[in-house]
Structure 1
Amino acid sequence: TGSLEGQYARKTGRLVSLSEQNLVDCSDEEYNNHGCAGGLMDRAYVYIFLNGGIDTEESYPYEMKQGKCRFQRKDVGASLTGYVRIVPRNDEKLLEKAVAFLGPVSAAVFAKLPNFRFYAEGVYDDQGCSEFDVDHGVLIVGYGTTEKGQNYWLIKNSWGTKWGDHGYMKLAKDANNVCGISSLASVPLV
């Protein structure tokens, strides 16, 4: 929801918190997503488009479990007209331009490694982290360089503020597409 929230705010000047639970409950097997077991943002965008929008977080709060779809059209916080993929894949320079000029970008990463799941600080740079088996959506909100000169992506995860650095991770940038960060990235169109 973060990328849509960002694009909606850029267009309207209003930041609306959108319901992740709406996606968990409603963008399911029909869209080849799997609720709490995972899914990809492009498929969620298709659900939002075909559904005519997504509810606000306030009207459809997060429950940390999959339930019955309770979407209410009267509670729609934002909608989209489509989405664009950042292509060619594996092009971190193009991804950098997208983040700089378009704002927050949704991306899929490989998140199954224990050291990813238990990340706490620093720049994550595990070259054993697959660039092909992406299985988890994150939000790229920026990029930077450490004092030691290591480039990184600043990503926001959906696992809450107790994960990582208050819900964020610095993921190695320009380092052979670590965890597949530039393999499947996209931005919704508002």
Structure 2
Amino acid sequence: MLGLTVMSDMAEEDMQDEFPVIKFNDTDDSHIPQNLTHLVKAVNWVTNKYVTAVRNLKIDRRFCPGASSASAVADVVEALAKSQTKKLRKLSIQELLDCSGSGCRSYGDFDKVYSIYLMEKRGLVCENNYPYVRAEKTCLVKGQRHGKVSNMLHARQGHQTLFKALLSKGPVATRVLVTPNFINYKEGIFRHNCQPNAYSHTVLAVGFTDTYVLIKNSWGTDWGEKGYMRISINPKENCNLYLESLAAM
């Protein structure tokens, strides 16, 4: 179901400013461990309590467009930390913006930039120690790190089976193509055949069934189904959801 949402007032020029046009890499540099070969039929990391609350970054689109990518990657590390410590913590997206080299205006290979940083630093500090300030600042990180990353898995030009294999192990940061229909989503299973190389946006995949993938957005709980979208699992009608993804182990 589509309708007016908190994002519906965006004009075409706003979309050009705030969502980058991404030409996805046509190579697959993924290295998938053997322990991802067994697939479950369905998973929901939200009900399993591995996912923190939906952020509201919609007012920050002009201030720091890169925050949505940082938020999704921080969510991936939060789930990894939960699996390691049994405690769910909200981790710092500001650390990623300030310290990884990505910044607020970085739209390129967000997966590689963040992967290098996370594997070198072995996780992130809590958001309480390094709060989000809607801008890129000098790196002043301090505090205990959580989510010891041993491997970051990049899936490019992926396919449904690969994506589900990654998602069966934990939430996955992924890019999706954004259209007016996506922006105006309110409820139900979203099906849309987006044109390639359209505007892109980073979200967090948090579950799947045999008919849809559940994604967490960063536009607040007034958008979609309390901040979430159920998007078709069919690659022909889910806006290139499988083309560029990042998971952590």
Query: Cα distance 1:8–1:177, how it changes in 2: closer, same or farther (>3 A)?
Result: farther
> Equivalent residue for 2:194?
128
Specify whether residues 15 and 43 from structure 1 end up closer, same or farther in structure 2 by C-alpha distance, changes over 3 A only.
same
Q: TM-score of the superposition, structure 2-length normalised?
A: 0.61
Alpha-carbon displacement from aligned partner over 1:51-101 (angstroms, at most 9, x marks no partner) = 4532211122233x21313432324333423301236x331122112222x
Give the structure, 1 or 2, with the largest relative contact order (CA under 8 Å, sep 6 or more): 2
- Please name the residue that 2:202 is paired with: 137
Identical-residue share of aligned pairs (%): 28
Asked if 1:12 corresponds to 2:85, the answer is yes
> Which of the residues 215, 226, 230 maps onto 1:166?
226
2:167 aligned partner: 99
Cα distance in structure 2, aligned partners of 1:36 and 1:118: 25
Do structure 1's residue 109 and structure 2's residue 176 form an aligned pair? yes
Residue 2 (str. 1) matches residue 72 (str. 2)? no
Which of 129, 132, 150 aligns to 1:62? It is 132
**Alpha-carbon offset, residue 6 of structure 1:** 0.9
- The residue number in structure 2 matching 1:148 is none
Could you tell me whether the CA contact under 8 Å between 2:192 and 2:237 is conserved in 1?
A: no
1:85 and 1:185 in contact (8 A); partners too = yes
Aligned length: 175
Q: Give the TM-score normalised by the residue count of structure 1.
A: 0.77
Instruction: Spell out, residue by residue over 1:105-134, the C-alpha distance to the aligned partner (whole angstroms, 9 max, x if none).
Output: 1211123x222223221222110253x557
- Please identify which structure carries the higher strand content: 1
Aligned partners of 2:237, 2:224: CA distance in 1, in Å?
Answer: 20
**Structure 2 segments unaligned to the other structure (5+ residues):** 1-73
CA RMSD of aligned residues (A): 2.5
Q: How does 1:2-41 map to 2 (within 5 A)?
A: 2-27=75-100, 30=101, 33-35=102-104, 38=107, 40-41=110-111
Do the aligned partners of 1:141 and 1:155 also contact (CA within 8 Å) in 2?
yes
User: Does the C-alpha gap of structure 1 residues 180 and 34 become closer, same or farther in structure 2, counting only changes over 3 Å?
Assistant: farther
CA spacing shift, 1:53–1:129, aligned 2, 3 Å: same
Change in CA separation of 1:166 and 1:152 when aligned onto 2, cut-off 3 Å: same
SS in 2 for 1:110: strand
Query: 5+ unaligned residues in a row in structure 1: which ranges?
Result: 146-150
User: What is the SS of the residue equivalent to 1:162?
Assistant: coil
Ranges of 4+ aligned residues in structure 1 off by more than 4 Å: 36-39
When residues 10 and 75 of structure 1 are mapped into structure 2, their CA distance, relative to the original with a 3 A threshold, is closer
1:108 partner amino acid: R
- Equivalent position amino acid for 1:12 in 2: T
Letter in 1 for 2:170: G
Question: 1:171-182 alignment to 2 at 5 Å?
Answer: 171-176=231-236, 178-182=238-242
Query: What SS class does the counterpart of residue 96 from structure 2 fall into?
Result: helix
Instruction: Quote how far apart the aligned CAs of 1:143 are.
Output: 1.2
Amino acid corresponding to residue 80 of structure 1 in structure 2: V
